[in-house]
Structure 1
Amino acid sequence: MITLSSDFGAPYPAAMKGVIARACDARLVDVSHEFPRQDVSTAAFWLTQTLPYFPPAVHCVVVDPGVGTDRDALVVRAGEHALVGPDNGVLLPAARELAGDVEVFTWAYEDAASTTFHGRDVFAPAAAAVHETGVDAVPDLDRTTATDEFVDLQFPVADRDGDGATGEVLVVDGFGNVITNVPGDVLAGRFGESVTVNGDAVPARRAYAAVEVGERLVTVGSHGNVELAVNQGRGDDAFSLEVGDAVGVAR
């Protein structure tokens, strides 16, 4: 299996699929091609939430605002998985979710046909090559060179303060749910009560529908972090928050 993730929308992923299909017979699975454009951090977060549910695979990820520059192409080996993509941090969080210890390699691509579409001309061929030779053989490929110099994106950690925490908004999903880096255990024992979010009292509930339609709530999302939401509405609007904003949660 080769999975494909990008911020391309359409039709660019089709060209990547064509390149891979001509090189190997891997099953191709789209994770998403609708990641926010040039938003490396958001793509990295969603990959941590999706790739661990796949069986062993090669994951081709192209969110690449530095395309055409001298940034490296990487192959990251994470257990039985391999991730292929640009050296801008997008691969490392998910790789570490897949396996605690990872190995990082640069991928030589001097013969790239273009400087504007490395998804087609660099990363798709690399993913096919890794698939064909096998993840275990990555260190022995002619184009790979082990490296310990790479962009290592790490998500910010919330500050704990007694029975509360101060963190920030990591991403906002398509429903408008505000996903923070505040760990969900801050709400332990508080469901059914209210907590303060940036000084405002908000009910803590386990499910969106536990409050009236249009009402705000604080919950723990499937990612394990505190999430700010509105039942059948947009939490980002109701809480006036966007990515990077500070969020304080307390009793």
Structure 2
Amino acid sequence: MITLATDFGEPYPAAMKGVIARRSDADTVDIGHDFSRQAPREAAFWLRFVLPEFPPAVHCAVIDPGVGTDRQALVVRAGGHALVGPDNGLLLPPARSLADGDDVEVFSVRVEDPASDTFHGRDVFAPVAADCHEVGVADLDRLPALVRTREYEDLRLPEPTVRDGGATGEVLAVDGFGNAVTNLSSDLLDGHDRVRVDGQEYPVVPAYAHTEVGTALVTVGSHERVELAVNQGRGDEQFGVTTGEKVTLAWD
């Protein structure tokens, strides 16, 4: 299969699917097309979370604020998967999660005169994804457009700072429910039934419904990261945070 992840909304992904259908017999699976606009780091976090659930596949991800510039197009091979997308760091965190400790292999894509300078999803990445599927992930070296490279943007998601009695992290993403997902690891909540977030105390609960409706809370999401949430409400609004903001967690 070929998975597709973009910040395009509709109908642009349909054009990508049309290109893939002309060049390949692959099934296409939508990861989503409503990723935050022009936010490669946030999308990299979500792809790191989602892609390991798939069997080996080709994953085409296009969150590309640098479209039309001299940024490279890349293919990254990792753990039996191939990831196709722009060279802005988007592909590396999910690739490392798929590689499961092994090295990733990065290829630059020779791009010749795409039809549009503003829609490389259709004109560059979809055709490359289809070609990768047809030749097979194990045989990417057979594709003449791919050249191995060690020159690429190597994005790494930020690590929290942990100290006695607390930790400082960052909001990596806000999901559609308003839950603010941080880079603080789940074990920081072990043994605590209440913690302070930026000086304000909140309950620590295993799931949203363990509090009254409308109650702000701290929990661990399915991504094994500390999450700031509200039972049937929006955590980002209650805690006053957005993606990229610092968060301080403290306990006695």
Q: Report the TM-score, using the length of structure 2 for normalisation.
A: 0.97
The unaligned stretches of length 5 or more in structure 2 are none
Alignment partners' CA distance in 2, 1:185 and 1:209 = 21
Structure 1 residue 20 corresponds to structure 2 residue 16? no
Paired letter, 2:128? A
Alignment partners' CA distance in 1, 2:169 and 2:229 = 16
Partner of 1:65: 65
CA deviation after TM superposition for structure 1 residue 139, in Å:
2.2
C-alpha contact (below 8 Å) 1:36/1:42 kept by paired residues: yes
* Aligned-partner SS, 1:3: strand
> CA deviation digits over 1:82-127, x for unaligned, max 9?
0001101111100001003200000111131111111001000000
Partner of 1:197: 197
Partner of 2:88: 88
Partner of 2:30: 30
RMSD: 0.9
CA deviation after TM superposition for structure 1 residue 236, in Å:
0.7
Alignment partners' CA distance in 2, 1:51 and 1:172 = 18
> CA deviation digits over 1:30-89, x for unaligned, max 9?
000000111111111110111110011000011111111111100000021000011011
* Aligned-partner SS, 1:76: strand
CA deviation after TM superposition for structure 1 residue 153, in Å:
1.0
Alignment partners' CA distance in 1, 2:176 and 2:8 = 17
Which stretch shifts more, 106-115 or 226-235?
A: 106-115
* Aligned-partner SS, 1:249: strand
* Aligned-partner SS, 1:95: helix
Partner of 2:177: 175
Moved over 4 A (4+): none
* Aligned-partner SS, 2:60: strand
Paired letter, 1:144? L
Alignment counterpart, residue 137 of structure 2, candidates 135, 139, 164 = 135
The number of aligned residues is 249
Alignment partners' CA distance in 2, 1:67 and 1:240 = 32
Paired letter, 2:245? D
CA deviation after TM superposition for structure 1 residue 163, in Å:
4.0
* Aligned-partner SS, 1:71: coil
What is the percent sequence identity of the aligned residues?
62
